[in-house]
Amino acid sequence: MRCPRIEVDLRKIRHNTQTIAKRLKRRGIRVTAVTKAVCGHPAIARAMRDGGAAGLAEARLSNVKRLRQAGVTCPITLIRTPMLSQVDDVVQACEASYNTELSVIAALAAAARRQNKVHGIILMAEMGDQREGIMPHDLGDVARGVVDMPGVALKGIGANFACLNGIAPTVSKMRALSALANDVEGQCGPFVETVSGGNSANLPWATGGNATGRVNDLRIGEAILLGVDPVTGDQIGGMYRDAFTLVAEVIETDAKSVDPLVGNFDHTLARIRLVPDISEITRIILAIGHQDTDAAGLLMPAGTTLIGATSDHLVIGTCDATLCVGSEMRFQMRYGALMRAMAASDIQINLRNDRPTTNAHNVHGPSKHLALV
Ligand SMILES: *Cc1c(COP(=O)(O)O)cnc(C)c1O
């Protein structure tokens, strides 16, 4: 099989989505599955939908277009404030978008009127992460501006936590978000349907027995894909940590690591090189590098340490004496490594356990899904 590659177990993605969707449903919260870390990969998005995600969310319009071209028809929300230069395509491809700028909303409204559509607007409130968001005291005014604008409809409000500053949402912040939903309704009338409380970092809050108030939606990416809490890095109970595996090939194994004196022609030192190496660590080189992934975000198998990486090489120390040139090594990934590997043009993506076959799918055979790679 080709290397480097990522093996994606779609059954584990379905299971992880299902597990979170079930836990959140009991709390009155639906899951909007976020596909940005997998560049809007259609088969992974479909696995999330099959697992019970109510809709999909993407940060990049290019990924939304990839989903649409693959025939994904469910609601897709753009969760990064749209670029002014892309409003026409945003209205065409997305049911709704998260917004923080009235000038962008006005451009979206104009684009929607040209297309005879109504584009949904979710206003992002700044609740302490200090990335995107409207200051809470300005939210009512902006909401009224949206309500008065033909071509757009105020669908809801949202907040984001633990992205820029890594601080998990507190009970009081979440209570404040619910209060904001009530305030916006009080100020501008229409029912605020969606109150999107945040991302994977909100799961401990949402499943921890706190009152969920008005929050009825979470946007979940990392927890579905990697089965971990992004704030602590801990595995979430009942979830798979290994839906994705990065496989790379060994291109060199030797003992040069124990000889830091290569190129030094001092004969006294050269003799030192003849001392047998008693270390059991072998240094090996894999054909993968910074251009493909975040080397520091690879989880090293037991008995293995990361020595370093360059753009195209990964250098590793290992006790595994069976590894030789041509061997494959398998790695689990953290979020940053996954995100870059999924975007790397040189990495093949192999899907496992695609949808349980039905008659409808048998007609096309398994190669149908491989075509989406
Ligand atoms: C990336 C992102 C998410 C999803 O975050 P995860 O930690 O992957 O769950 C949710 N909302 C917004 C606005 C995002 O940018």
Distance CA 269, CA 133 (A): 62
Distance CA 154, CA 122 (A): 6
CA of 365 to the centre of ligand 1 (A): 34
Q: In the prediction, which pLDDT does 225 show?
A: 98
Distance CA 313, CA 266 (A): 30
Residue nearest to atom 5 of ligand 1 (CA): 199
- The tokens of 348 are what? 């093949």
Alpha-carbon separation of residue 156 from 18, 101, 181, 255 (angstroms): 25, 15, 8, 61
Give the position of tokens 């076959």.
Answer: 357
| 160 touches ligand 1 (CB under 6 Å) | yes
Q: In the prediction, which pLDDT does 168 show?
A: 81
Q: In the prediction, which pLDDT does 256 show?
A: 58
Distance CA 211, CA 83 (A): 36
Give the position of tokens 């401990």.
Answer: 204
The whole-model pTM stands at: 0.89
CA of 111 to the centre of ligand 1 (A): 26
Which atom of ligand 1 is nearest the CA belonging to 196? Answer: 11
Distance CA 167, CA 181 (A): 22
33 and 263 Cβ atoms separated by less than 8 Å: no
Q: In the prediction, which pLDDT does 165 show?
A: 79
Which atom of ligand 1 is nearest the CA belonging to 223? Answer: 9
pLDDT averaged over 10-residue windows placed end to end, the chain, 373 residues: 96 98 98 98 98 98 98 97 98 98 98 98 91 92 97 97 83 95 91 96 94 97 97 94 98 68 47 50 95 97 95 95 95 98 98 72 40 37
CA of 199 to the centre of ligand 1 (A): 5
Q: In the prediction, which pLDDT does 356 show?
A: 67
Q: In the prediction, which pLDDT does 273 show?
A: 44
Long-range contacts of 198-201 (CB under 8 A, 24+ apart): 198/158, 198/159, 198/160, 198/161, 198/162, 198/169, 199/34, 199/160, 199/161, 199/162, 199/163, 199/230, 200/224, 200/229, 200/230, 201/161, 201/162, 201/168, 201/169, 201/229, 201/230, 201/231
CA of 219 to the centre of ligand 1 (A): 6
HEC string for the chain: CCCCEEEEEHHHHHHHHHHHHHHHHCCCCEEEEECHHHCCCHHHHHHHHHCCCCEEEECCHHHHHHHHHCCCCCCEEECCCCCHHHHHHHHHHCCEEEECCHHHHHHHHHHHHHCCCCEEEEEEECCCCCCCCECHHHHHHHHHHHHCCCCEEEEEEEECCCCCCCCCCCHHHHHHHHHHHHHHHHHHCCCCCEEECCCHHHHHHHHCCCCCCCCCEEEECHHHHHCECCCCCCECCCCCCCCEEEEEEEEEEECHHHCCCCCCCCHHHHHHCCCCCCCCCEEEEECCCCCCCCHHHEECCCCEEEEEECCCCEEEEECCCCCCCCCEEEEEECHHHHHHHHHCCCCEEEEECCCCCCHHHHCCCCHHHHCCC
Q: In the prediction, which pLDDT does 363 show?
A: 39
Distance CA 151, CA 110 (A): 7
Q: Which of 123, 127, 160 has most ligand 1 atoms within 8 Å of its beta carbon, as the pocket-test mutant?
A: 160
Q: How many CA atoms lie within 13 A of 7 on its CB side?
A: 17
Alpha-carbon separation of residue 324 from 84, 85, 226, 369 (angstroms): 53, 51, 30, 33
